[in-house]
Amino acid sequence: MFDKFKLDNKVAIVTGGTRGIGLAIAMALGEAGAKLIVTSRTDKYNGFESLKKSGFDVTFYESDITDPSVPQKIIDYAIKEKSRLDILVNNAGVAQHGDIETYNDNLLNKIMNTNVDAVFRMCRSAITPMKKQNDGVILNIGSISGLVSNIPQPQVAYNASKAAVHMMTKSLASDYAEHNIRVNAIAPGYIKTDMCDLPEENKHWYPVWNQMTPMGRMGNPEEVAAAALFLCSPASSYVSGEVLVVDGGYTSR
Ligand SMILES: NC(=O)c1ccc[n+]([C@@H]2O[C@H](COP(=O)([O-])OP(=O)(O)OC[C@H]3O[C@@H](n4cnc5c(N)ncnc54)[C@H](OP(=O)(O)O)[C@@H]3O)[C@@H](O)[C@H]2O)c1
């Protein structure tokens, strides 16, 4: 049974795989035996270095995912260097608080280009080789913010972007099931990463977040990575179109 979590020789791309949730997912997939390609704009936090030190077969593809030409280049790189693509984890994302009245087009474009357009392009480019293989897994990192409107921070654009990720996931799961391609999402609650490292003036949000989470605490990236390993591995062979919530019970209330 536990063999079903093994990923020996599977080729996996993790966007934003150099820190935070993406790094934890890359670690989990690497430990399961996957060959990794991690992407991000920089490795200044040394995530790639730590993956290498862990002894994994790992490559760093330095790139800005919002450049429309980049997603196809990442997929082409995987096919050229590794001859196949088994797993795509669309994890790279950005958050920026703000209510709609103060949200200018630059902010809106940054959120949508990163969280929605780039994910769409990555999926579009990955589908072709996965169809040829008649095999593939896509995992998108959504958010509970795509399911409920979090408080106290106003974040209408981020919430809308993550709802789009969830619907993209369901649509692709339905469209490509006949090609043996499974597409799922994870909707994390509040997870301790740079994204949730609040500036001094917003630190009073933490007690509100903890209070609204039945488990009374924020999650760790590894707690998301465990769910990711399940959804990327044969352990979830009959799961597709699912948005798996990992939120300490937040959305149960
Ligand atoms: N933390 C949470 O509480 C939480 C909750 C729900 C959902 N999520 C989602 O989980 C995912 C990971 O978030 P995180 O908390 O781990 O955030 P994080 O620590 O800020 O990491 C974000 C990652 O995305 C990469 N990235 C951002 N913009 C990019 C771009 N334009 N091109 C390429 N890579 C880019 C970053 O690398 P570079 O900056 O080096 O490019 C970094 O590796 C995101 O999709 C986020 O929306 C997070």
* Pairwise CA distance, residues 131 & 126, whole Å: 9
Give me the chain's average pLDDT, please.
97
User: Which of 24, 36, 21, 40 lies closest to 86, judged by CA?
Assistant: 36
Annotated catalytic residue: which of 158, 176, 190, 250?
158
Which pLDDT score is estimated for 2? 76
User: Any catalytic annotation for residue 158?
Assistant: yes
* Pairwise CA distance, residues 142 & 241, whole Å: 13
Ligand 1 atom nearest the C-alpha of 43 is 40
Which residue, judged by its Cα, is nearest atom 25 of ligand 1? 16
User: Which of 168, 154, 189, 173 lies closest to 116, judged by CA?
Assistant: 168
- The whole-number average pLDDT for the span 187-212 is 97
Interior angle at CA 212, CA 202 and CA 146, nearest 5: 80
Residue found under tokens 């300490």: 248
Whether the pLDDT of residue 207 is over 70: the answer is: yes
What is the distance in A from the centroid of ligand 1 to the CA of 20? Answer: 7
Whether the pLDDT of residue 64 is over 70: the answer is: yes
For the chain, which domains are there?
2-252 (3.40.50.720)
* Pairwise CA distance, residues 56 & 59, whole Å: 9
Residue found under tokens 């209408």: 156
What is the distance in A from the centroid of ligand 1 to the CA of 229? Answer: 18
Whether the pLDDT of residue 1 is over 70: the answer is: no
- Residues 73-89 pLDDT 10s: 999 999 999 999 999 99
Count CB-CB contacts under 10 A for residue 5: 18
- Characterize 145-177 residue by residue with b for buried, 16 or more Cβ atoms within 10 angstroms of its Cβ, and e for exposed: bbbbebeebbbbbbbbbbbbbbebbbebbeebe
Whether the pLDDT of residue 252 is over 70: the answer is: yes
Q: Judge whether 78 and 53 are in contact, CB under 8 Å.
A: no
What is the distance in A from the centroid of ligand 1 to the CA of 178? Answer: 31
- The whole-number average pLDDT for the span 130-136 is 98
This prediction has a pTM of: 0.98
Whether the pLDDT of residue 36 is over 90: the answer is: yes
* Pairwise CA distance, residues 39 & 117, whole Å: 16
Which pLDDT score is estimated for 44? 92
Residues with CB under 6 A from ligand 1: 16, 18-22, 39-42, 64-66, 91-95, 114, 141, 143, 188, 190-191, 193-196
Report phi then psi at 68, rounded to 5.
-60, -25
Mutate to test the pocket of ligand 1, among 41, 45, 62 (most ligand atoms within 8 A of CB): 41
- Residues 140-187 pLDDT 10s: 999 999 999 999 999 999 999 999 999 999 999 999 999 999 999 999
